[in-house]
C-alpha cells in the first residue's frame, strides 16, 4: 500500500490513527463504566 505513495498514504494513515484513538477512547469509557457499575453493585451489597 505504501508503494503507491503520495498524499493519499498520509491522509489514510492520519484517518487510521484517528479511528484507532476513537476506538481506544471507547474502550477506556467501557472500562470506566464497568468499574463504576461494579462499584455501585458492591456498595449496594455492602449496604
Predicted TM-score (pTM) of this structure? 0.57
- The domain of 6 spans 1-47
Q: How many domains does the chain have?
A: 1
12 Cβ neighbours under 8 A, 6+ residues apart: 1
Instruction: Tell whether the torsion through CA atoms of 8, 9, 12 and 17 is positive or negative.
Output: negative
pLDDT at 46: 87
CA dihedral angle for residue 28, residue 33, residue 35, residue 38, rounded to 10 degrees: -160
Closest CA to 9 of 1, 19, 17, 21: 1
Q: Say how far apart CA 33 and CA 39 lie, in whole Å.
A: 10
Q: What is the pLDDT of residues 1-47, one digit of tens each?
A: 555 555 666 666 788 888 999 999 999 999 999 999 999 999 999 87
Q: So what's the pLDDT on residue 5?
A: 57
Amino acid at each position: 500500500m505504501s508503494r503507491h505513495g503520495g498524499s493519499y498514504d498520509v491522509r489514510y494513515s492520519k484517518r487510521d490513527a484517528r479511528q484507532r484513538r476513537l476506538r481506544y477512547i471507547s474502550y477506556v469509557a467501557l472500562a470506566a463504566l464497568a468499574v463504576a457499575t461494579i462499584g455501585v453493585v458492591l456498595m449496594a451489597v455492602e449496604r
